[in-house]
């Protein structure tokens, strides 16, 4: 029997131990004299010694209220104890129902508590794992810093060694040393068989012809061959500093005669001027490479505003006296091809500063439509001092002057020589850096000079 079917006559005998409330439910809008809107959760299960034994919305006489009202009944503890055996009361059933609900609520609370505890444990484990991960990240970063420093040290040593050797080779003492080595080989090691060769060589040298000393150059071991490949294999990519441009201004790829940090002169001055005009300039290092075991085909290092030095993955080569092997040509073009694609070099100009690079410049023209400019800075065919250009580079120049899109020369003599072969060239002679010299500041560096003091000259 539902409580709704009970009349007030059934309930009233127990009213001394129970309390009932009639409240308007979900009243909206509120009556002007009412300040609270009641709902089922508005009535707690217990109020002191009283337990809620019933709660139900009921339709009432519209004379009293146009809608539902909420009937809520609370029973005292004494009433609930005395009503166990009363046949006319539903208090026991209601009390059991409320007890079951209360027990279920306690179970739910316990389950929620356990879930919260498990969640807290998971958060603590996650925090510990995060701390452990951060610790390993710090260790990894420190190891990577050390590895990068070791790589940089090896490469810097290699570059400095090559630079120093190049400086030695440009001295007269080096050529004298090579001549002594050749004479010793012909006269001492080959004995009688080398006398005629020595006489012929001496005669040609006396007439100012090629001394043919290349084969007597000392061979030095390359330090990169003695460094574990694993040191370089995990090197991170550094492809990002040169970003794509939206204005589509053409890019400059420099195939230079030396590294950018060598004596600052014409090659760097041209590169810097292009960079100042808003072009991206990529200086391809001829002495700093990535090892063949490197995971990357190239790496870039910003060395100035709009200027990046590029290290390619390739076997070491001798720019002055050596020749490009097919495998080296393929490796250089592969690295440059990836550079073109990664950094969107759609329009570019390739400036060759030494004929050794001919195949690379022409390869970039074939693959990417680059314009090839050969900047003929010196008379390489008659170059008198070390390091002497090798036979490979001299032969490449004979082809390059006719194959380049633009031929630039530094002297009228070179211009006239090419004009005699019907090859047009542009004369751009060497000049002083106007911005550098235009506003000299007073100093005392030459204060000790006298009228008889010797004057030295550093040119290029």
Instruction: Provide the domain count of the chain.
Output: 3
CA atoms of 375 and 274, how far apart (whole Å): 15
Q: What is the pLDDT of residues 396-415, one digit of tens each?
A: 999 999 999 999 999 999 99
Indicate whether 201 and 303 sit together in one domain. no
- Residue 147 domain-assigned (yes or no): no
pLDDT at 183 over 50: yes
CA atoms of 407 and 358, how far apart (whole Å): 13
Indicate whether 338 and 431 sit together in one domain. yes
Indicate whether 211 and 241 sit together in one domain. no
CA atoms of 303 and 261, how far apart (whole Å): 9
Q: Provide the phi-psi class of 230: left if phi over 0, else alpha when psi is between -120 and 50, else beta.
A: alpha
Indicate whether 294 and 383 sit together in one domain. yes
**Cα Rg, the chain, nearest whole Å:** 47
Q: State the average pLDDT over residues 213-242.
A: 63
Place of tokens 């002594």: 180
CA atoms of 383 and 414, how far apart (whole Å): 13
What is the span of the domain harbouring residue 177?
A: 170-216
| Last-in-domain residue among 61, 89, 117 | 89
Please count the other Cβ atoms lying within 10 Å of the Cβ belonging to residue 60: 15
Q: Provide the phi-psi class of 218: left if phi over 0, else alpha when psi is between -120 and 50, else beta.
A: beta
pLDDT on residue 369: 93
pLDDT on residue 237: 44
CA atoms of 377 and 409, how far apart (whole Å): 6
- Residue 449 domain-assigned (yes or no): no
pLDDT at 360 over 50: yes
Least confident span in 33-42, 50-59, 87-96, 406-415: 87-96
Tokens of 298: 């190239």
- Residue 317 domain-assigned (yes or no): yes
Tokens of 13: 């005998």
Indicate whether 174 and 310 sit together in one domain. no
Q: State the average pLDDT over residues 226-235.
A: 61
- C-alpha distances out from residue 385 to 169, 395, 409, Å: 8, 18, 20
Q: CATH number, domain at 322?
A: 3.40.50.2000
- Residue 126 domain-assigned (yes or no): no
- Residue 258 domain-assigned (yes or no): yes
Highest-confidence segment of 58-67, 108-117, 209-218: 108-117
pLDDT on residue 229: 61
CA atoms of 268 and 432, how far apart (whole Å): 13
pLDDT on residue 231: 65
pLDDT at 17 over 60: no
Indicate whether 414 and 290 sit together in one domain. yes
Which residues in 236-277 belong to E strands, given as ranges? 251-255
Place of tokens 């996650």: 126
| Last-in-domain residue among 38, 66, 89 | 89
Indicate whether 386 and 298 sit together in one domain. yes
* C-beta of residue 390 within 8 angstroms of C-beta of residue 323: yes
pLDDT at 292 over 50: yes
Average pLDDT over the chain, rounded to an integer: 80
Q: Which of 370, 388, 371 is nearest to 379 (CA)?
A: 388
Indicate whether 302 and 412 sit together in one domain. yes
Indicate whether 290 and 327 sit together in one domain. yes
- Residue 116 domain-assigned (yes or no): no
In this prediction, what percent of the chain has a pLDDT beyond 90?
Answer: 27
Indicate whether 335 and 428 sit together in one domain. yes
pLDDT on residue 14: 47
- Which of the two residues, 90 and 5, has the higher pLDDT score? 90
| Last-in-domain residue among 62, 89, 116 | 89
- Residue 106 domain-assigned (yes or no): no
* C-beta of residue 79 within 8 angstroms of C-beta of residue 64: no
Q: What is the pLDDT of residues 300-334, one digit of tens each?
A: 999 888 999 999 999 988 888 889 999 999 999 99
Question: In what side-by-side order are the strands of the sheet with 18-24?
Answer: 18-24, 68-76, 50-59, 46-47
Indicate whether 191 and 256 sit together in one domain. no
pLDDT at 348 over 70: yes
* C-beta of residue 68 within 8 angstroms of C-beta of residue 60: yes
pLDDT on residue 234: 47
Count CA atoms within 13 Å of residue 263 on its CB side. 9
Q: Which of 409, 385, 399, 390 is nearest to 266 (CA)?
A: 409
- Residue 37 domain-assigned (yes or no): yes
Three-state SS across 151-195?
HHHHHHHHHHHHHHHHHHHCCHHHHHHHHHHHHHHHHHHCHHHHH
Indicate whether 313 and 415 sit together in one domain. yes
């Amino acid at each position: 029997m539902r409580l709704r079917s009970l009349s007030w006559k059934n309930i009233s005998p127990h009213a001394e131990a129970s309390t009932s409330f009639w409240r308007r439910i979900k009243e909206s809008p509120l009556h002007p004299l009412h300040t609270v809107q009641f709902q089922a959760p508005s009535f707690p299960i217990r109020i002191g010694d009283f337990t809620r034994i019933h709660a139900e919305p009921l339709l009432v006489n519209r004379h009293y209220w146009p809608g539902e009202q909420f009937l809520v009944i609370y029973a005292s503890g004494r009433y609930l104890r005395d009503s166990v055996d009363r046949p006319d009361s539903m208090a026991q059933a209601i009390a059991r129902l409320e007890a079951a609900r209360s027990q279920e609520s306690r179970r739910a609370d316990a389950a929620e508590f356990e879930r919260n505890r498990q969640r807290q444990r998971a958060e603590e484990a996650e925090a510990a794992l995060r701390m452990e991960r951060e610790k390993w990240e710090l260790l990894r970063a420190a190891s990577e810093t050390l590895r990068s420093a070791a790589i940089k040290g090896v490469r810097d040593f290699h570059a400095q060694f090559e630079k120093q050797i190049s400086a030695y080779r440009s001295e007269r003492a080096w050529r004298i040393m090579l001549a002594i080595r050749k004479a010793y080989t012909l006269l001492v090691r080959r004995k009688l068989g080398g006398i005629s060769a020595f006489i012929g060589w001496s005669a040609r040298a006396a007439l100012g012809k090629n001394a043919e000393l290349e084969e007597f150059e000392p061979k030095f071991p390359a330090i990169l061959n003695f460094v574990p490949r694993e040191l370089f294999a995990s090197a991170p990519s550094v492809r990002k500093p040169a970003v794509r441009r939206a204005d589509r201004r053409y890019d400059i790829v420099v195939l230079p005669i030396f590294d950018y940090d060598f004596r600052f002169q014409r090659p760097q001055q041209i590169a810097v001027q292009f960079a100042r005009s808003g072009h991206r300039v990529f200086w391809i290092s001829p002495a700093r490479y990535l090892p063949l075991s490197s995971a990357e085909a190239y790496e870039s290092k910003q060395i100035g505003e709009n200027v990046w030095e590029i290290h390619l993955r390739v076997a070491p080569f001798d720019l002055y006296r050596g020749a490009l092997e097919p495998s080296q040509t393929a490796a250089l073009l592969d690295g440059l091809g990836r550079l073109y694609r990664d950094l969107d070099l759609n329009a570019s100009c390739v400036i060759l500063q030494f004929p050794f690079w001919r195949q690379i410049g022409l390869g970039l023209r074939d693959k990417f439509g680059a314009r090839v400019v050969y900047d003929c800075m010196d008379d390489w065919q008659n170059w008198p001092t070390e390091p002497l250009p090798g036979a490979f580079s001299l032969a490449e120049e004979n082809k390059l002057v006719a194959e380049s899109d633009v031929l630039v020369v530094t002297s009228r003599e070179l211009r006239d020589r090419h004009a005699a072969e019907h090859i047009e060239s542009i004369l751009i002679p060497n000049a002083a850096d106007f911005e550098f010299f235009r506003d000299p500041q007073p100093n005392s560096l030459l204060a000790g000079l006298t009228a008889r003091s010797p004057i030295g000259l550093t040119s290029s």
